[in-house]
């Protein structure tokens, strides 16, 4: 996997971060380079359970190889599709989803998905979907009706992997998707994913919530800092191009943003092995994504919660260990920061945040980022073989840099 445990690049929360996982590239526009591939769909590095990243990508070539026409009798009567069926949910949600084409100023880019957030024309998607277009690039959004709009990136949060774009000359009849409550999602609940896998726009797949609070660290393979999430896991089929699309519940409410997959592809960066969904997909919970999107719309920059300490990113089952030294020679525990005020020191191993077991540094980061600055949390940590508990008020950091 690209990066290392201590790249010398502090993350936006003051916690030392690194790139976990490998690039999983998605279909690119005709002008794209890098072998015809660009903006990545993430491959998850599962921190818990011992599953790693370092997996490959494959080129999705959308060739039209012909068609078949089938004649069928229409004497069976009309089909009734109730609002609560998958077909009913899809019919209502599809008009509020878009296929996003993002292209950099030098022609690199790729395809992803987004959904209507408000009537002003804001579209929510993943940061890695639009990352190529942030500096002088081009973004377009195409609705299932075929209507295509130019758009601009309003704000993006690399750490959260959330971005907001806004349609230029947005239509007046936009219908935002209804946002659900991801905290109330239960394992086994039905899920519906909408996206453009391998460039196949307006694709609908179904599954269930397979797990909650799954710690996932992922990278787009460019060497940038990783994104971290305490994810919803689903077995709904998710592939390159689904990134940024909505994960819906059975009532059509958005409960997450499809963002990452675990894949068995073995080609590695530059390889050609066919890779895709194996039923392990991960979505950013909508409660977190909603907060991030609102901050981005407000002033264009994300705000991260932080404890003000540098932790090891090595895979572990023992907890998140505060390092002896932070990135670039900085102190591991920020002077005057939340961790310092709570009495935490280098060498302490954080094992719980409130009632959530912490088994590694990335798990801690993802869990902290489910909170807002100013939230009070309880940390359990070990020092010299003894267990301690302390209350801590989370600090804040603005921006990705």
Do the Cβ atoms of 207 and 358 come closer than 8 Å?
A: no
Do the Cβ atoms of 165 and 108 come closer than 8 Å?
A: no
* 312 included as an active-site residue: no
* 243 included as an active-site residue: yes
Residue written as token pair 């530059």? 270
C-alpha span between 282 and 210 (Å, rounded): 10
* 128 included as an active-site residue: yes
Do the Cβ atoms of 302 and 295 come closer than 8 Å?
A: yes
Do the Cβ atoms of 196 and 26 come closer than 8 Å?
A: no
Residue written as token pair 């675990």? 262
Among candidate residues 16, 132, 156, 161, the one labeled active-site is 161
Among candidate residues 243, 263, 277, 312, the one labeled active-site is 243
Residue written as token pair 């009495």? 343
Full DSSP string of 359-379: -SHHHHHHHHTTS-TT-EEEE
Among 136, 135, 138, which Cα is nearest to 102's?
Answer: 138
Among candidate residues 128, 230, 249, 312, the one labeled active-site is 128
Do the Cβ atoms of 313 and 19 come closer than 8 Å?
A: no
Do the Cβ atoms of 390 and 344 come closer than 8 Å?
A: yes
C-alpha span between 89 and 193 (Å, rounded): 11
Q: Please, where are the H alpha helices in 94-160?
A: 127-130
Residue written as token pair 């819906």? 248
Q: Length of the chain, please?
A: 401
Among 142, 109, 110, which Cα is nearest to 123's?
Answer: 142
Residues assigned a catalytic role: 128, 161, 243
């Amino acid at each position: 996997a690209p990066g290392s445990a201590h790249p010398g690049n502090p993350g936006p929360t003051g916690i030392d971060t690194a790139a976990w996982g490998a690039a999983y590239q998605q279909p690119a526009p005709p002008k794209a380079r890098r072998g015809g591939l660009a903006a990545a769909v993430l491959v998850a590095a599962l921190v818990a359970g011992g599953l790693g990243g370092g997996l490959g990508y494959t080129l999705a070539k959308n060739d039209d190889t012909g068609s078949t026409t089938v004649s069928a009798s229409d004497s069976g009567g009309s089909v009734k599709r109730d609002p609560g069926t998958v077909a009913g949910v899809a019919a209502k949600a599809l008009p509020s989803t878009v296929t996003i084409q993002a292209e950099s100023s030098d022609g690199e880019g790729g395809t992803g998905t987004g959904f209507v957030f408000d009537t002003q024309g804001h579209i929510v998607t993943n940061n890695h979907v639009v990352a190529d277009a942030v500096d002088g690039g081009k973004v377009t959004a195409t609705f299932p009706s075929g209507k295509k709009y130019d758009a601009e990136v309003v704000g993006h949060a690399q750490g959260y992997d959330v971005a907001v774009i806004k349609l230029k000359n947005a239509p007046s009849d936009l219908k935002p998707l209804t946002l659900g409550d991801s905290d109330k999602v239960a394992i086994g609940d039905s899920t519906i994913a909408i996206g453009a896998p391998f460039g196949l726009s307006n694709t609908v797949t179904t599954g269930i919530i397979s797990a909650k609070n799954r710690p996932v660290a992922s990278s787009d393979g460019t060497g940038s800092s990783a994104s971290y999430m305490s994810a919803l896991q689903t077995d709904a089929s998710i592939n390159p191009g689904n990134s940024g699309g909505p994960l819906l519940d059975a009532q059509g409410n958005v409960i997450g943003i499809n963002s990452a997959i675990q894949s068995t592809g073995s080609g590695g960066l530059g390889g050609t092995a066919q890779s895709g969904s194996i039923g392990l997909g991960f979505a950013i919970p909508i409660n977190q994504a909603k907060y991030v999107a609102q901050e981005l719309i407000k002033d264009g920059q994300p705000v991260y919660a932080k404890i003000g300490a540098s932790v090891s990113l090595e895979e572990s089952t023992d907890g998140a260990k505060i390092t002896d030294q932070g990135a670039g020679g900085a102190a591991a525990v920020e002077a005057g920061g939340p961790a310092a005020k709570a009495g935490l020191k280098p060498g302490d191993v954080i094992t719980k945040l409130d009632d959530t077991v912490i088994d590694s540094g990335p798990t801690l980061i993802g869990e902290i980022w489910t909170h807002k600055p100013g939230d009070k949390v309880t940390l359990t940590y070990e020092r010299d073989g003894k267990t301690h508990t302390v209350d801590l008020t989370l600090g804040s950091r603005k921006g990705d840099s």
